[in-house]
Amino acid sequence: MDFRNYIKTQFGLQNSSKILDPAVYSNQALEQDMLELEMEREETEHKIDELNAEQEALYDEGAGAPEYKKQSLATEAELIENERVQYEESYQTQTDKLGLLRAVRGVRKRMRSSDLTIDQLMEDANSTEVGAAVRGELRDLKLDSKKVNKIMGALNISAQVSSSSTNRSSKNKHLGRMEQREEEREYETRNSSDSRSRARSDD
């Protein structure tokens, strides 16, 4: 997400760091926007959980099913995954926006605790204390360090942290999950059968 561009289009601010100023973007508006984003994010997370449950049900149905049935179920699982990916992208965008607003809140908390004006604070924006205040606000969002650095950069705060990455795959994965589920069932059945055999021999 381009945080500078988001601030420009959403808030009409050419200088993205101006969003830190309560006189430009009030604390009341900040809290209201964060609340709305948190509610949207919860709804999206609920939908992702529902789609995950649908996928798991398809994997269960496909375990031990004939090959033609597995192929059909794998296609259905892929369609669900595509929908889920869209919701996950929305969730990430909502998280990014929330992260930006929480970073603003973190800077303002630091400003209040130190009795600094916004201009004085920005003169000291490279301090580790400001960076720590921002990271403290973002901790539970589990944003990767690259994203945190982008947020700080958009707010003209320099406090770099090291980065990480993620990845994704396609249809054979769903077939593989069904095969894995089938193997798990066979293993459980064998164990159950062995247990009964041992119980009879003990008798």
pLDDT score recorded for residue 163? 44
d(CA 49, CA 189): 29
pLDDT band at 196 (very low <50, low <70, confident <90, very high): low
pLDDT score, position 168: 43
Q: How far apart are CA 88 and CA 92, in angstroms?
A: 6
Torsion sign across C-alpha atoms 141, 143, 145, 150: negative
pLDDT band at 166 (very low <50, low <70, confident <90, very high): very low
Question: What per-residue confidence (pLDDT) applies to 126?
Answer: 55
Percent of the chain scoring above 90 in pLDDT: 43
pLDDT, one tens digit per residue, over 10-28 is: 999 998 888 998 999 999 9
The string of pLDDT tens digits covering residues 117-138 is 777 666 665 566 777 778 888 8
- Give yes or no for residue 4 having a pLDDT over 80: yes
Q: Say how far apart CA 153 and CA 38 lie, in whole Å.
A: 23
Q: How confident is the model at residue 158 (pLDDT cuts 50, 70, 90)?
A: low
**Which residues make Cβ contacts (< 8 Å) with residue 160, sequence separation at least 6?**
149, 152
> What pLDDT shows up at residue 48?
97
Total-model pTM: 0.73
Q: Which tokens is 90 given?
A: 């929305």
User: Whole-number mean pLDDT of the chain?
Assistant: 83
Residue 108 pLDDT > 50: yes
pLDDT digits (tens, 9 = 90+) for 40-87: 999 999 999 999 999 999 999 998 889 889 899 999 999 999 999 999
Q: How many CB atoms lie within 10 A of CB 71?
A: 14
Give the model's pLDDT for residue 125. Answer: 54
